[in-house]
Chain A
Amino acid sequence: MENKVFKIALAGNPNCGKTTIFNRLTGTRQHVGNYPGVTVERKTGFCRIGDFRAEIIDLPGIYSLASSSPEEKVAFQELLNDEIDLILNVIDAGNAQRNMYLTTQLTELDIPMLLAFNMIDDAEKQGLVFDFGKLEQFFGAPIVTTVGSSGQGIDELKNAIAEIRNNPSPQRPVKPKYGPKTDQAIRSLTAGIAALNLPETRRIPARYFAIKVLEDDPEICARPDLEPFRREAEQWRRQIAARNGINSRTLMADVRYGVIAGACREAITISNDRRRQLSDVIDKYVTNRFLGVPIFLVMMYLVFQFTFTLGQFPMDYLEAFFGWLGESVTAVWPAGEAEFLRKLIVDGIIGGVGGVLVFLPNILFLFLAIAILEGTGYMARAAFVMDGFMHMFGLHGKSFIPMLIGFGCSVPAVLATRTIDNESDRRTTIMVVPFISCGARLPIYSMLIPAFFALKYQALVMWILYLIGIIVALGCALVLKSTIFKGEGEVFVMELPPYRLPTLRSILILMWEKTSLYLQKAGTLILLASIILFVISTFPEKSNFSQDYDAAISAVQDSTLTESEKNAAVSRLEAQRKGEALEYSIAGRIGRGLETVMKPIGFDWKVSSALIGAFAAKELFVAQLGILYSVDDPEAEEGTLRQVLQESYTPLQGFCIMLFCLLTVPCIATMAVVRRESNSWRFMFGQILLFTVIAYTITLIVFQTGSILKIGTTISEPAESTVAVETSGNGLAG
């Protein structure tokens, strides 16, 4: 007894302040994971109360213990399988009637209960007066009043927990009476089920299962051992429904709300008329038919700016730091000594870690923004406002936010899909969001567009590319939603919680939680993939080049050229060497091998090889192409690379390269978070397949049509390469 951890399950409706109570009890001693097979988070934490340690399991927020959503299923499984010693049921005191619906179901489990009437201050302001003595009697469980945001009542809560823990035979909750006919049905079914002696009924009473069978709960009724009772339950349902004149499918909900209404009449009174709440006033404008959308767009603009513009500063520092780190290692580690290890550490590992951390500022800021949006309650409004629009494409209102974030970067965009509760909506959004043209594709456009298009068409081409991304994303969503992600009878019903001021503490905890999850799960995968990509674009190493570059470089150094001419010649030689090395590497060979496949879409082996390298990060495409065309520093020598490209490809090819870059699998980091968020390798590989097929098909159509119609098929005359597009524009790179 002394050593056994006291297990407390924290249960409650969504938006009842459960997480705040959880944070209050556990502080930062939390562990966040996932339930197997679903994307529902499993949070546990420890709390020291007096002389013992309690493990607190934060169940997902649920309205009912049915099995109509993944949250409800895992919550029930947790209560069934884990040896829970106490259920701490958090109730939003301001909305007690609805919240107690779950409470009546929890009492059926016959596990000692403790009720926390949370946000009691708000409820009292609304003029609600509670007779807690009566309610305690009604549920057979002690009640503590709390205010999660200020910590009021938390000590009392701990004391109440200690009291129950120290009681050798704690009070069991009172099972509600549902009316003569219903109780008769429950008794009859209970007797039958108890006779089966199921292993589960040792912990959870047979009566609970009887009620579930009577309710025709799909999960419970699917059990073969309970199958025989379905017929009897069906008969009882018809009788009860007839007697009470109610719907037989929602019979238990009806009788439960009936019971609760009775309890509320006796124990809760309203001392004054509920004042018009501030929340309703705000909503008059925020969810207004006309103002709703503009307000939403302003909010989204702020979130976008916050995530990417503000995130840019630390990102620049991080990039600079990893650049410096790589250089320092190169400096202290003499070339030639354990060359492989040196390259692996400098280019592979440091580069890879840099690649993981470079997203960190964006993710931190994004989740800070999301935490604020969710904490205040605006998120639900945003979904409400945008749902009609997104629904046209089979998506949820909340899908809009990831789509928007997608213009910045697909990695946080995929992470932002966490706010979508509905699994099939969420998966659809994850699937299509990388089609949205992210900031990392911008350097590709800014390099290629000026090379192939006259100034007056440049903006138009850019606009067309972004538009294609949006159209393909929404089109795919529509197709996916009506085929493989067809909602399995899910319904849309969403609560709009009253506006609240979130506590700094809960925002920071949420932000930290999500970010550390990203680092743990996606980070490791990104690192691994970066190293693999490094290896395939470095090895096998070429030892005999077409010319002796070292000799040529020293020849240049010793020549009589001016310093700047020397530097230019040296870097040209270095670039040529790199180009040869890349061509010789696995990536280069794959690129060559793909030539026959890529020819119909107008790509030569250089473009293909560069695409492989660009899988590490889209903006690397330009760098890789630069290496292959022996232009050492493509950013510095933008004009040079542009000119080379202009001379090598037709405008049609140029457009097709950009089109393919837009539509193909974005980058390993995105794939890693997709794997993590979908919790499935199959999903990730399915997405790679989808993107590859779509990118190839669309590019093929465009290239072949263009070739036949002879649109942009002539290599243009070397033009003034001074036409420049804002390369740094918007500052969204990454």
Chain B
Amino acid sequence: MSNNVISSSLEDYLEAIAEIIETKGHAHTKDIADRLQVKMPSVTNALQALSVRGLINYQSHSPVVLTSRGAEMAAVIRHRHSALKSFFSGLLKLEETEADETACRIEHVISETVLSRMVVLIEAISGREDCAPLRDFLATTMPRIGTEVAEEELANVIPLNELPIGQSAVVVQVDENLRGVKKFADLGLVPGTLLQVEGHAPFGGLLRIKVMGSSLSLRSRDAAFISVKLT
């Protein structure tokens, strides 16, 4: 077993120590306990474990100092963390704290190879010229996903062909794969349009809807491509 490998909680301690030293110049047990929101005795135990592994120099009542090996390992851990964090906040558009916490949880289980490939991906998406449309897309799409409101919205979104008669709804999305999608759009079936199902044709297959003051009939098969939100 290589002594390079330490437990994930020790990694967190090492990372915290490095960060505190960087911001305050020196790291006391109290600072570490505050930062990681743990009790003092736990910190003492962890520091002793790190010291045994030769990653820090630790004596009671004096600040913690990183050994050169410890500093090196802390740098790797921090780089990993910031890469993951920028993935979560920069690409997946998560809130700062959520990005941070998720990075903390994932960084210990991810291999060096996966991480470095991920870094390449992040840098490509956030830097390359031809990825500009993708960046735009992420910027608009990501924030909408998973928020509580969106979840609630999603529950009320149904395909148009399942909308009950008389129920009003707003178009939220028209699938690009709908045949003649432009024609439907020309007739007003674009996101944001209010509509209402008026009825079904006798032999089935046709749906009648009221859109912008006019009645349209369309095939239920096509209507399945149009998602509406109940109002």
Contact = CB atoms under 8 A, between A and B. Distances in A.
Interface of A: 63-64, 66, 68-69, 94-95, 97-98, 101, 215, 235, 238-239, 241-250, 253-254, 257-258, 261, 280, 283, 287-290, 292-293, 380, 384-389, 391, 489-498
B218 interface: yes
Interface string B181-201: 111111110111100001111
B193 A257 contact: yes
A64 B186 CA distance: 6
B78 to A, nearest CB: 33
A290 B202 CA distance: 7
B179 interface: yes
B215 interface: yes
Given A68-B183, A242-B139, A384-B201, A492 B219 contact: yes
Given A95-B212, A239-B132, A247-B173, A253 B202 contact: no
A593 to B, nearest CB: 49
B41 interface: no
A249 B181 contact: yes
Contact of A257 (B132, B192, B218): B192
B188 A257 contact: yes
B179 A491 contact: yes
Contact of B186 (A101, A247, A386, A387): A101
A492 B222 contact: yes
Nearest to A274: B213
A289 B211 contact: no
16 contacts: A66-B186, A68-B180, A68-B183, A97-B213, A98-B213, A98-B214, A239-B136, A249-B182, A250-B174, A253-B185, A254-B185, A490-B180, A491-B179, A491-B222, A493-B217, A498-B215
Contacts of B214: 95, 98, 495-497
B201 A385 contact: yes
B206 interface: yes
A58 to B, nearest CB: 21
Contacts of B140: 242-245
A287 B216 CA distance: 13
Contacts, number: 157
B204 interface: yes
Contacts of A246: 190-191
Given A243-B136, A250-B174, A283-B198, A496 B181 contact: no
B152 interface: no
Given A245-B141, A250-B181, A384-B206, A496 B219 contact: no
A-side binding surface: helix, strand, loop or mixed?
helix
Given A98-B187, A235-B133, A492 B218 contact: yes
A493 B222 CA distance: 9
Contact of B136 (A94, A242, A261, A491): A242
Given A66-B182, A247-B181, A287-B208, 8 more contacts: A98-B211, A245-B144, A250-B181, A289-B199, A388-B202, A490-B180, A491-B183, A496-B216
B186 A94 contact: no
A248 B133 CA distance: 12
A577 B217 CA distance: 63
Given A492-B218, A494-B217, A292 B202 contact: yes
A178 to B, nearest CB: 13
A-B interface, 10 closest residue pairs, ranked by CB to CB distance from nearest: A388-B203, A491-B180, A253-B185, A242-B136, A250-B185, A64-B186, A242-B137, A496-B215, A238-B133, A95-B213
Nearest to B173: A247
A384 B179 contact: no
Interface in B159-192: 173-174, 176, 179-188, 190-192
B205 interface: yes
Interface in B114-144: 132-134, 136-137, 139-141, 144
